[in-house]
Chain A
Amino acid sequence: MMSTQRYNRYEKARIIGARALQIAHGAPVLIETDQTQPILIAAEEYDAGVLPFTVNRGQHT
């Protein structure tokens, strides 16, 4: 389901940014990875499509 939704670059940046913050604060990582930096882990999670986020586009497009 998640992989079918297309995000624009602002949404992608925001999602990875928010997730990296969570990881940095000690949230459990959702995938197997060799990465150590929160931002890179978040990027891999995003690519794997496992992140529990939705973007509410509500009023506009």
Chain B
Amino acid sequence: MSETQYHATDRFEFVDEDVELLVEDTDLPRRLKNELYETIDDRGGMDLEAVEEVASAVESRYVNTRVDPLDPVGTVSAQSIGEPGTQMSVPYDEKVLVRRDGETDVTEIGSLIDGLMAVRESADVDGHEVTSGPEGMEVLSLRADERVEWKPLEQVSRHEAPEELLRFELESGRSIRATKAHSFVVQDDSGDIVPIAGDELAVGDELPVAGEYDARAGEADVSTLEAETALTDGGVVASKASQQSSIVGTASWDRIESIETVEPDHEYVYDFSVAGLETFTTAQGVVTHNTMNTFHYAGVAEIDVTQGLPRLIELVDARKTPDTPMMTVHLEDEYATERERAHEVVWKIEATKILALGDISTNVADMLVQIDLNPDTLAERWPTVDDVEAVAEEIASTIESALGVQTRQSGMLIEFGPEEPSYRDLLQLVEDLREIVFKGIEDVSRVVIRKEETEKGEEFVLYTEGSALGDVLDIEGVDASRATCNNIHEIYRNLGVEAAREAIIDETMNTLEEQGLDDVNVRHLMLVADIMTNDGEIESIGRHGISGSKDSVLARAAFEVTVSHLLDAAIHGEVDGLDGVTENVIVGKPIKLGTGDVDLRMNPGKGGSTD
């Protein structure tokens, strides 16, 4: 729609040609101009001066806040910040812009990546299939200085599609679909450019886009961009062939018109990983941002650990068991370097219950519980036993001793029933059966294995949900000198006070560091840990610990529950020697420290002249 075709005078009763000329003369977009007309109309017409005033006010507001297409807009500082999401990808038929040997092409991301996966070896990273990008293939990426640039495609990946996708429609008619956690970059209120998860975007937010969008073709025309840049860069009109310069222009911003959730219609969703700032551009010119760096958050959910103030309170209170007990287990020698050996240790630690091993069915007619074991799982979880039958026998005997029943076992089948035919007993047996731990440590419900860079080089480290340090230390392959847990009392029981003191320092420091308080001096925490472990056992700081067991009544009363302390002291006739700091502050005496601790006497008559 061209501007000259728009006749405001016909549409609005109180808008005459002079007003229209004035308004049309501004740099305002159509939407704002129309709103201006509407306002004028609503007021039943305004005189020309008022209109001019309003129009220029609106215009200056608009010009101040807008970002012109192809204008550099600040520095893109969209670095990877840990995205908590598990999936961040676009669906199969999202078209993307790629360039290969100088030929710009539009392709469906899905068919491109599926094709690559078929011919290349792909690695499995936490449920994501990852393979390297095709050689010489480049995608349009947003650079740190806001320019749009062709960058080599480093890696491509795909993973199973989630249940819902988001679909964004932009003001210019562009659209993009992505998983909820797929991140985009937006400008925040202060004009800084920040990454944002897809499901946090709202209507009205602006996304960076590249090129000019042709609504009919449904594709962005990046060629105009290239020509323009070539012109400004070298002053020469560039032909298609001169694509040496990889910078093709700057990004502009496009408002989101609507957001809706859609169902994915393909099995997988896909992702590109690009060197540098990890963004790529779809065929419609929408720039999206991705971070392969956060893959360790994907697929395998992180172990949930209490953090922040609640954790700090937990530590200082010296709770018997933390809210979320966990262990960090380092391994020895070949267990630390070979995935299979490391897994052996995992199965020795993680509690294996019957549900993981096979299917349970209850046969009410014969009053039998039947277990159909899965031989593959048995072989996996008992890697050191060659014969799966032997494992099945072991399981059967474990059941016998745990439930006190006779079992019949043949091959992968185990059956048993209550002594007397009783429906209730049968169900009770199934209930009890589910609780039996066949292998591993009962308290450890889950083990996450992760490859990490440590002082000993790259090695596998186990993180467990639930802790039983004493049991873990005895397991073969566990490096007892580096195994820790977050339960201070467990460390105290197994390794002694000194270890517990060390653990308190480490845990409090880590908790503070996670909250960005890494400049707290360790000595403060060492002091706390020293006080807590001073008696040779762990004591909490609060009312029931250190502060509650002080000798001085006044010091105790100053901490908490003042009245009851004073009352009890009065009843028992306690005496306060006023030795501590708190007591002396309360009674208004100088404290017995430094200058306050000097006992000064004057010798009258002795002084006077120097002899």
Binding site for B on A (CB under 8 A): 10-11, 13-15, 17-18, 30, 48-58
A55 touches B598 (CB 8 A): yes
Assess A50 versus B600: contact at CB under 8 Å? Given A10-B595, A14-B595. no
- 20 new A-B pairs (CB below 8 Å) besides A10-B598, A15-B598, A56-B601? A10-B597, A11-B595, A11-B598, A13-B595, A14-B595, A30-B608, A48-B610, A50-B608, A50-B610, A52-B607, A52-B608, A53-B600, A53-B603, A54-B600, A54-B603, A55-B598, A55-B600, A55-B601, A57-B599, A58-B599
Q: CA separation between A41 and B594, bound complex, in Å?
A: 23
The interface residues of chain A lying within 8 Å CB-to-CB of B597 are: 10
- The 8 Å CB contact of A49, one of B604, B608, B610, is B610
- The 8 Å CB contact of A52, one of B594, B595, B599, B604, is B604
Tell me whether B563 is interfacial, beta carbon within 8 Å: no
Q: CA separation between A56 and B610, bound complex, in Å?
A: 21
A50 touches B609 (CB 8 A): yes
Tell me whether B602 is interfacial, beta carbon within 8 Å: yes
| Least Cβ–Cβ distance between B604 and chain A, in angstroms | 7
Tell me whether B606 is interfacial, beta carbon within 8 Å: yes
A15 touches B599 (CB 8 A): no
The interface residues of chain A lying within 8 Å CB-to-CB of B606 are: 52
The interface residues of chain B lying within 8 Å CB-to-CB of A55 are: 598-601
B601 touches A54 (CB 8 A): yes
The interface residues of chain A lying within 8 Å CB-to-CB of B600 are: 11, 14-15, 18, 53-56
Q: CA separation between A10 and B595, bound complex, in Å?
A: 5
Q: Residue on A with the closest CB to B590?
A: A14
Q: CA separation between A52 and B594, bound complex, in Å?
A: 21
| Least Cβ–Cβ distance between A18 and chain B, in angstroms | 6
Assess A17 versus B595: contact at CB under 8 Å? Given A53-B601, A55-B600. yes
Q: CA separation between A52 and B600, bound complex, in Å?
A: 10
A52 touches B609 (CB 8 A): no
Q: CA separation between A56 and B609, bound complex, in Å?
A: 22
Q: CA separation between A52 and B604, bound complex, in Å?
A: 7
Binary CB contact string for chain B from 576 to 611 against chain A (1 if under 8 A, 0 otherwise):
000000000000000000110111111111111110
The interface residues of chain B lying within 8 Å CB-to-CB of A11 are: 595, 598, 600
Q: Residue on B with the closest CB to A48?
A: B610
